[in-house]
Amino acid sequence: DIQMTQSPSSLSASVGDRVTITCRASQRISNYLNWYQQQPGKAPKLLIYAASSLHSGVPSRFSGSGSGTDFTLTISSLQPEDSATYYCQQSHGTPQDSFGQGTKVEIK
Amino acid sequence: EAQLVESGGGLVQPGGSLRLSCGASGFTFTNYWMHWVRQAPGKGLVWVSRINGDGSSTRYADSVKGRFTISRDNAKNTVYLQMNSLRAEDTAIYYCTRAEYQELHDWFDPWGQGTLVTVSS
């Protein structure tokens, strides 16, 4: 199975800051990588698919990049509503263990 | 707009059974593989099971294999998760989600609101 590791596990940043979350796969997965946002008490929502494609309706301050084993989710200008936990998910191999452990983003 | 609504969660004793349902609307149900993903309290997302469009192919996480069964009724636009021999570690919010496909890539969208399963005596 492919293991996904996110860093950091949590971060605190101010409104307007640029925030970067990384996700590393235990083997090469090309660009078979998705990102989800889970706000407190809510279901996850798709942000980015195929590593860099922005899902419909998602603000353009969110962007994704990477290929192979290393991927990045960037929030260009952090907003209060971005306080959430972010998960990467690989779709290259079996779905078991496909999610990263999550990165909690808090607003200072 | 595609929507998923789960039901059937609740409190059950260890060793007991529960059946979760997920009703779909706003899309052609038979065209999509459906998945269950769970989240233990304060923990991350964990994939549980999936079923293909006509119900002929299923797959399970090792942690639930032999205890959980996924199925679907395409006439009712509903996917089910039959959970037997429940354990305390199965306590979680269970989400139903649709696998969307495009040019060999797939992702989960949308997600239901989740239904809470608590296994406790």
Q: What is the pLDDT of residues B6-54, one digit of tens each?
A: 999 999 999 999 999 999 999 999 999 999 999 999 999 999 999 999 9
Per DSSP, what are the bridge partners of residue B91? none
Query: What pLDDT shows up at residue B56?
Result: 97
Q: What is the pLDDT of residues B55-79, one digit of tens each?
A: 999 999 999 999 999 999 999 999 9
Backbone angles phi, psi at B98, to 5 degrees: -100, 140
Look at residue A90 and tell me whether its pLDDT is greater than 90.
Answer: yes
Distance CA B96, CA A44 (A): 11
Query: What pLDDT shows up at residue A57?
Result: 97
Q: Does the beta-carbon distance from B59 to A49 stay under 8 Å?
A: no
Of B47, B95, B100, which has the smallest distance from its Cβ to A96's Cβ? B47
Kindly state whether B41 is in contact with chain A, defined as any CB-CB distance less than 8 angstroms.
Answer: no
Query: What pLDDT shows up at residue A96?
Result: 80
Give the residue, B101 or B70, on which the prediction is more confident.
B70
Kindly state whether B95 is in contact with chain A, defined as any CB-CB distance less than 8 angstroms.
Answer: yes
Which residues of chain A make contact with B107, given a CB cutoff of 8 A? 34, 46, 49-50, 89, 91
Look at residue A95 and tell me whether its pLDDT is greater than 90.
Answer: no
Query: What pLDDT shows up at residue B86?
Result: 98
DSSP B85: S
Which residues of chain A make contact with B111, given a CB cutoff of 8 A? 43-45
Q: What is the SS3 assignment for A99? A: strand
Q: Which residue of A has its CA nearest to B41?
A: A41
A to B CB pairs, distance under 8 Å:
61
Give residue ranges of A with CB < 8 Å to any B CB.
Answer: 31-32, 34, 36, 38, 43-46, 49-50, 55, 85, 87, 89, 91, 94-102
Whole-Å CA distances, B61 to A41, A93, B15, B49: 25, 13, 19, 6
Residue A52 has a CB neighbour count (10 Å cut-off) of: 16
Q: What is the pLDDT of residues A10-56, one digit of tens each?
A: 999 999 999 999 999 999 999 999 999 999 999 999 999 999 999 99
Kindly state whether B35 is in contact with chain A, defined as any CB-CB distance less than 8 angstroms.
Answer: yes
Is the distance from CB of B113 to CB of B5 less than 8 angstroms? yes
Q: What is the pLDDT of residues B104-113, one digit of tens each?
A: 889 999 999 9
Distance from CA of A86 to the nearest CA of B (A): 10
Look at residue B101 and tell me whether its pLDDT is greater than 90.
Answer: no
Kindly state whether B27 is in contact with chain A, defined as any CB-CB distance less than 8 angstroms.
Answer: no
The separation between the first and the last C-alpha atoms of chain A, rounded to the nearest angstrom, is 37
Q: Does the beta-carbon distance from B113 to A50 stay under 8 Å?
A: no
Look at residue A97 and tell me whether its pLDDT is greater than 80.
Answer: no
Kindly state whether B50 is in contact with chain A, defined as any CB-CB distance less than 8 angstroms.
Answer: yes
